[in-house]
Structure 1
Amino acid sequence: MKQLLFILLFTPLLIWSQSNFEKAEKLFHVKKYDEAQLLFEAILKTRPSDIKTIEYLGEIAAYHKSWIKAGEYYKKLKELKPTEAEYFYKYGGALAMRAMEVNKLKAFGLVEDMKGAFEKAIVLNPKHIPARWALIELYLQLPGILGGSESKALSYSNELAALSLVDGYMSKGRIDEYFKRYASAEKYYIKANEIGKSKTTFQKLYNLYLNKLKDPKKARELKQKFESS
């Protein structure tokens, strides 16, 4: 009798929840994020630990640049699924974006959690490339007194090189560009572009020529070559 009562009470609720999830998912995929959010939030009230629902809400919050809310969703995800590298990476990313919006004192207070999240992502997935990029940028941007370190950035760049030659060259170029060693950055970006031949590798080298080396001729020639290839 109790089992029958459970079925009668909760089956309609489960059907409603599943139906709404499918609707919300479709809305999300056609970029109707506000409508999708309302449905996902309603679902979360009945299924507070549903990983996919929380993940979608995190993505919507990130789209709206609501970094506090996004961080809360990703924090919950990494707690619910502590073996998933991507959730730690996204949590760290939300903290990093939040740090860009607040004053320096508050931003520095987020640093350890950021580093911890990115490092954990790498532990869980040793081939995680974006987490290494995030740590490179973090160590470049941080003042030395708070842990900023070119050598640590280079260490992660070397790890990237072992996973992807293009990312290795690109990251070394980024480090040299940050420290205004533009001639050296150019060499690395050229190598990355020769291998990658992508819009990303082209854009990095093009921007270096145009904005840092102030060489419009090289920029123009590179653009012509890229557009004709």
Structure 2
Amino acid sequence: MKIKVKTIILIIGLLSSTCLFGQSSIDKGKVLYESKKYPEAEKVFKAVPEKTTDYAAAQYYLGRIAFDKKEYDDAADYFEKAKELNPKNAEYFNWLGDTYATIGKDANIFKQMSVGPKALRAWEKATQLDAKNINARVSLVGAYMQAPAFMVKKTPDHHLYLYWYGKSSAITGLNLDRGEECMMKYLNYTPKDDEPPIAGAYMRLGQIREKKGNKAEAKKNYETAVKLDKSLDQAKEGLERTSK
């Protein structure tokens, strides 16, 4: 009987130690990271087992380390992994957006066209998950405010910029005439699988026209958007408003 009791105690002790080790690894790495001891912190986070619940947090902090070291492509990969493992963490998406924005800051126009929308989508997701995430909200509003002028200056007729401009107008209420023009041009384009869908474009056009007071046309756009994609809640809400 004594042997069994000792065995049980030993097993409980081992399990407790394992749990504490997993927890302390993240805490230890975080302390090292905050002390800017990047090599030591990196070693700790990379040692976190992939099958554990701490792995997402480890990937996040590895992304923070890579970002601080200006290794932005690596940082993006880490943040992508972190948000895949935990898609409900707003901070993972916020840092992913910041990273893509940083990558595009001094890149050529084609690279900017690739990472710009990724940054926007990441910030949008962060604000959806946590409306109080101030950093994501500030970044998102700043991007929407700056995007129109930037796009017109660079490549005003490129399809991604047409959509981005129209979307920024639909959300901010700025430059509505130009936004309407851009979104109508985008609707003449056939988007690829990884590009903004036509259903979303009709929804944004409806939002623009609703803001301009053209309820009849806005209603038609919302109807088309819902017909193409029944999952667009904002289009359904717009259709309800313009049907009154």
- Shorter-chain TM range is 0.5 to 0.7
2:144 to 132, 135, 151: 135
Higher Rg: 2
Q: Distance in 2 between matches of 1:130 and 1:150?
A: 16
Distance 1:157 1:94, change over 3 A: same
Structure with higher helix content:
1
Q: What is the TM-score normalised by the length of structure 1?
A: 0.53
2:28 is the counterpart of 1:17: no
Q: What is the TM-score normalised by the length of structure 2?
A: 0.50
Displacement of 1:151 = 7.4
Identity fraction in percent: 28
In structure 1, the partner of 2:70 is 65
Distance 1:18 1:151, change over 3 A: closer
- Gap runs ≥5 in structure 2: 175-244
- Alignment RMSD (CA, Å): 3.5
Distance 1:26 1:96, change over 3 A: same
Report the secondary structure of 2:48's partner residue.
helix
In structure 2, the partner of 1:147 is 161
Please give the per-residue CA displacement for 1:141-186, whole angstroms capped at 9, x wherever unaligned.
3332242677765776679xxxxxxxxxxxxxxxxxxxxxxxxxxx
Q: Distance in 1 between matches of 2:12 and 2:64?
A: 33
2:55 is the counterpart of 1:47: no
Q: Is the 8 A contact 1:136 1:156 kept in 2?
A: no
Displacement of 1:53 = 2.4
Kindly tell me the number of residue pairs found equivalent between the two proteins. 158
In structure 2, the partner of 1:85 is 90
Q: Distance in 2 between matches of 1:125 and 1:48?
A: 21
Q: Is the 8 A contact 2:93 2:123 kept in 1?
A: yes
Q: Distance in 2 between matches of 1:124 and 1:20?
A: 27
Please give the per-residue CA displacement for 1:183-209, whole angstroms capped at 9, x wherever unaligned.
xxxxxxxxxxxxxxxxxxxxxxxxxxx
2:133 is the counterpart of 1:124: no
Q: Is the 8 A contact 2:144 2:172 kept in 1?
A: no
> Which amino acid is 1:117 matched to?
A
